[in-house]
Structure 1
Amino acid sequence: MRTWQLNGYSIKELNIEDRPVPKINNKNDVIIKMQSASLNFRDLIMIDGGYGPTGGNIPFVPISDGAGVVTEIGDSVSKFSKGDIVTIPFFKDWDSGDIKQNTYLSALGGLENGVMQEYIAYSENKIVKSPNKWSCNEASTLPCAALTAWRTIVTEGKVNNKSIVLVQGLGGVSIFAIQIAKLFNAQVIATTSSDERVNLAKKFGADYVINYNKDKEWWKKVQDITDRKGVDIVVEVGGGETLEQSIKSSKVGAVIGIIGVLSGGNANLPIGRVIYKASRLIGITCGNQEELISMVDKFNESNVRPIIDSTFSFANLPEALKYMKTGKHLGKIVIDFDMV
């Protein structure tokens, strides 16, 4: 079977290898024919060696997020049938509760081989059925982007119909964050980089949108919108250059989910304001399998669908990664294994 393998820390070191198709070795195993994968910035960091040997031992199969179809089942499998579309959680061994130190050892696309292989053998207890009527391309966006947004807003933020949620940008996590917040009838304020994207953010469900290139001190606009009360939840993806404004935008006791560091990994933190506001700054590292199942159940009650920017073939994985590096995408970049 075709398998992408990283032989050195660079996109140039990606090669397609031929590996044997896995077999069922346990009565609770299933064989999944992988159909799709979706890219996250973490995949780029991993491939470029940003995490070093602690991220993954060369060689390994890259990319954490994917979906496929169950083609074989073990004798004791009861949760899935042939033909089911399933996705694999980002962390193989994070079933429920809070993350533990050893959880990181089970992240796919690094220390655990990722999804860029045509077949995978997996325990039925470690996979999740995709939302009803979602394609494999759509389901591949769930494990990292969607679940990161869910954990921030639902698990940590305890979102409800009185919540005000601030979402930065229109990347994969941010678009899901807008959609998830609206599932709970929360009010959403989004920030983005252009008037064109202002209109898109509103299309995705944002109630208010701020062009941060026009309003450099956008936290003041947030305070105006909220009648000086501030927001309950912040989906913080910018990092160094945005965290202070996120804190200024928030109300007392707000949850600030720190997800990304797109503008830098170091920030000048207004510690006095954090203390006064009793701000809860929480690092978000995806989510667990129990949360993934809850999210899928909620999606099945709604019309939520991922926003897919572009689709590349299996053979064009390097081109897809290079495109992600440009930062020009809006929503998710997907790899379709059957695309020619």
Structure 2
Amino acid sequence: MQAMRLKAPGGLDQLQLTTIEARAPLAGEVQVDIKASSLNFHDYAVVVGLIPAADGRIPMSDGAGVVRAVGEGVTAFQPGDKVISHFFPHWLAGSATQAVMAGVPGDNVDGFAAQSVTMPVSCFGRMPSHLDFDAAATLPCAALTAWRALMVETHLRPGDWVLIQGSGGVSLFALQFARMMGCRVIATSSSNDKLARLESLGAEHLINYRETPEWGNRVLELTAGHGADLVVEVGGSATVAQSVRAVAYSGCISMIGVLTGISGEVPTAELFQKNARISGITVGSQMHQQDMVSAIEANQLQPVIDSHFPLEELAAAFRHQESQQHFGKICITI
């Protein structure tokens, strides 16, 4: 079987296509033929060395494929079942803890940049029946992060305002989920072309943040002073102050990304004056994923996909991600 390995200390030129031996599953394990993966910023951080990984690590946290064989005691799946990965194989349900957030594929252990994997059964959940493998492979990290922000950590109602930043995977899923539940969406981007595409997906108001750097005030104007009930914050230090300005009284800022830096000043007085809160989110549990998959099936939701690359062009896929020209998820067809 082919797999992509990362030579320490990391870097796109350190990705090497190699041959691995497929392994039959032991008790409690499943062997899965991987058909697709998708790129997340977390994966990029691993392959360029921002997140240190063991020498020879097989990257990629997202995977979709078909069960080839099951080990003794496995009853959840049988050969032929279509499955998607779990970002946190140990987080079944309940609150996040350090223990349940260990073992992330492609980071702590080998991931899904391979034609075949053999892993504990807890690494997989069922795949939405209406999606192909590339589309399904976009769900375990980006979609679940957006799902938890909208459906778990907040109590949104139809008609509430949701603010999304940019057109990355989490933001687009947040837009789709928000529209699915009847919320109104404001989108920001530095590209008017991307804003037009966000409008076609259901964004009601559009803000070019380069043309309107004080976009928090613009959000208040567009909502008649109410603000955004939920801000899906992917920028980090350079955007959080505007997110605090934009958030509604008793609203929530879901802190998901740090694309502009890992630390920065927060207008704390304005935050507590609004009785608003910042909620840190890292993907979600397996129970959250089960609920999300059911909702995606019920609404026949289709993920927004930018492009497809073969496994051997994984480095080129990451360079496309670096360019920030993509709109939606970048998929790896295996």
* Cα distance change of structure 1 residues 266 and 74 upon mapping to structure 2, 3 Å threshold: closer
Distance 1:320 1:332 in 2: 11
Runs of 4+ in 1 over 6 A off after TM superposition: none
Distance 2:301 2:208 in 1: 25
Q: Deviations over 1:263-293 (max 9, x none)?
A: 2223221111112112211111111111011
Q: Deviations over 1:53-83 (max 9, x none)?
A: xxx3223111111111112234544332332
SS at match of 2:45: helix
- For 2:156, the equivalent position in structure 1 comes to 159
Q: 1:11 Cα shift?
A: 1.5
Distance 2:275 2:238 in 1: 21
Kindly indicate whether residue 222 of structure 2 is the aligned counterpart of residue 221 of structure 1. no
* Residue number among 235, 238, 242 corresponding to 2:235 in the alignment: 238
Structure 1 unaligned regions, length at least 5: none
Distance 2:239 2:38 in 1: 26
Greater shift in the superposed pair: 314-323 or 119-128: 119-128
Distance 2:19 2:65 in 1: 19
> Which amino acid is 1:14 matched to?
L
SS at match of 1:296: helix
Q: 1:206 Cα shift?
A: 1.2
Kindly indicate whether residue 83 of structure 2 is the aligned counterpart of residue 124 of structure 1. no
- For 2:33, the equivalent position in structure 1 comes to 33
- For 2:20, the equivalent position in structure 1 comes to 19
> Which amino acid is 2:33 matched to?
K
Distance 2:57 2:119 in 1: 17
- For 1:68, the equivalent position in structure 2 comes to 65
Kindly indicate whether residue 84 of structure 2 is the aligned counterpart of residue 87 of structure 1. yes
Greater shift in the superposed pair: 257-266 or 327-336: 257-266
Q: 1:4 Cα shift?
A: 1.2
- For 2:263, the equivalent position in structure 1 comes to 266
Q: Deviations over 1:71-111 (max 9, x none)?
A: 22345443323322211111111111221112342111111
Identity of aligned residues (%): 33
Kindly indicate whether residue 134 of structure 2 is the aligned counterpart of residue 137 of structure 1. yes
Distance 1:278 1:183 in 2: 27
Contact 1:73 1:81 in 2 (8 A): yes
Greater shift in the superposed pair: 14-23 or 173-182: 14-23
SS at match of 2:238: coil
Distance 1:256 1:180 in 2: 16
SS at match of 1:301: helix
Q: Deviations over 1:20-61 (max 9, x none)?
A: 1110211x4322100001001111111122123xxx322311
The alignment yields a C-alpha RMSD, in angstroms, of: 1.5
SS at match of 1:295: helix
- For 2:45, the equivalent position in structure 1 comes to 45
Kindly indicate whether residue 303 of structure 2 is the aligned counterpart of residue 285 of structure 1. no
Structure 2 unaligned regions, length at least 5: none
Distance 1:330 1:245 in 2: 23
Q: 1:178 Cα shift?
A: 0.2
Kindly indicate whether residue 183 of structure 2 is the aligned counterpart of residue 204 of structure 1. no
* Residue number among 312, 318, 326 corresponding to 1:315 in the alignment: 312
Q: 1:133 Cα shift?
A: 1.4
Aligned length: 333
TM-score, scaled relative to structure 1: 0.94
Greater shift in the superposed pair: 205-214 or 222-231: 205-214
Q: 1:232 Cα shift?
A: 0.9
Contact 1:105 1:112 in 2 (8 A): no
